[in-house]
Amino acid sequence: MSDQQASERLSCADCHQLNCYRRDKRFPDFCLTVTSRGDADIDAEIAKVKTIYTEEGPDRQMALAAAEIEGLYYGKLTRVEEIIAFAKRIGAKKIGIATCIGLIEETRVFSKILAAKGLESYSVICKVGSIDKTEIGVLPEYKVQQGCHESLCNPILQARLLNQAATDLNVIVGLCVGHDSLFIKHSDAPVTTLITKDRVLGHNPAAALYTSGFYYKRLLQEEKE
Ligand code: SF4
């Protein structure tokens, strides 16, 4: 592998300068902010996204709202409160909730909080449509509980029903890995996440990273080909 190729494989996780944030250090040679990769021209890319952020429209509105909330409430508001502040800043009135069946209680509480803060909510559960998993070709042995109707998670229908409900902002509450990806792909309204599901770590997936040096050493064990 040439030095150029080796350098092009480096990315932000390999950087210990993080100079892009406050420009009080230096940009490493492979820096994605100052070094173009392949045919791409990083300066042109930066100019292009600056145009998107400065032209009136939903992207600019969301970018300004997100930056203002970060600045105003840094380390002060919970995620629940930040979502409400963001919704209000982008003028969202109707909040869609794409919820996991296992977190329906949390969704009920969140709906009450939204109502208390003057926001309408409309929630769709993951099992909506009640389609048995085998109807789309999932093998019976993959069912969590054998020998009974077991509906598949249905993120595409969740998105379509929230699109029909004309929600202004959709919030993910604990959708499974991959189901969240399908939901985001099919959602018309912008999507943010309140709860990231982790059945083992109490919906705190970061805990596996924090403990990868001891409890979750297995995560860093190299997989044998
Ligand atoms: S953009 Fe550049 S300075 Fe920022 S983290 Fe990535 S490599 Fe480091």
CA angle 216, 217, 223 (to 5 degrees): 115
Residue nearest to atom 7 of ligand 1 (CA): 31
Cα(84) to centroid(ligand 1), Å: 31
What is the location of CATH 3.40.50 in the chain? 93-225
Cα(36) to centroid(ligand 1), Å: 13
CA-closest candidate to residue 183, choices 204, 167, 198: 167
- 101 close to ligand 1 (CB < 6 Angstrom): no
Cα(18) to centroid(ligand 1), Å: 5
Of 9, 11, 15, best ligand 1 pocket probe by most atoms within 8 Å of the beta carbon: 15
Q: What is the pLDDT of residue 57?
A: 97
CB 55 within 8 A of CB 85: no
For the chain, give the mean pLDDT. Answer: 96
Which CATH number applies to 93-225? 3.40.50
Task: Note the pLDDT tens digit of each residue in 162-204.
Answer: 999 999 999 999 999 999 999 999 999 999 999 999 999 999 9
Mean pLDDT of 32-48: 92
Euclidean distance between CA atoms 176 and 126, whole angstroms: 9
Euclidean distance between CA atoms 20 and 34, whole angstroms: 9
CA-closest candidate to residue 107, choices 93, 123, 95, 94: 123
CB 126 within 8 A of CB 158: yes
Question: Measured from the CA of 27, which atom of ligand 1 is nearest?
Answer: 3
Task: Note the pLDDT tens digit of each residue in 148-159.
Answer: 999 999 999 999
CA dist list (Å): 195 to 63, 102, 110, 169, 172: 22, 12, 11, 15, 7
Q: What is the pLDDT of residue 38?
A: 83
Q: What does R_g of the chain's alpha carbons equal in angstroms?
A: 21
Cα(46) to centroid(ligand 1), Å: 14
Of 9, 12, 34, 36, best ligand 1 pocket probe by most atoms within 8 Å of the beta carbon: 12
Give the type of residue at 30: F
Of 17, 30, 34, 37, best ligand 1 pocket probe by most atoms within 8 Å of the beta carbon: 17
Cα(220) to centroid(ligand 1), Å: 24
The band of 74, judged by pLDDT with boundaries at 50, 70 and 90, is very high
Q: What is the pTM of this model?
A: 0.94
Euclidean distance between CA atoms 176 and 128, whole angstroms: 15
CB 100 within 8 A of CB 174: yes
Q: What is the pLDDT of residue 5?
A: 83
Task: Note the pLDDT tens digit of each residue in 85-123.
Answer: 999 999 999 999 999 999 999 999 999 999 999 999 999
Structure tokens at 214: 């001891």
Of 8, 14, 20, 23, best ligand 1 pocket probe by most atoms within 8 Å of the beta carbon: 20
- 27 close to ligand 1 (CB < 6 Angstrom): yes
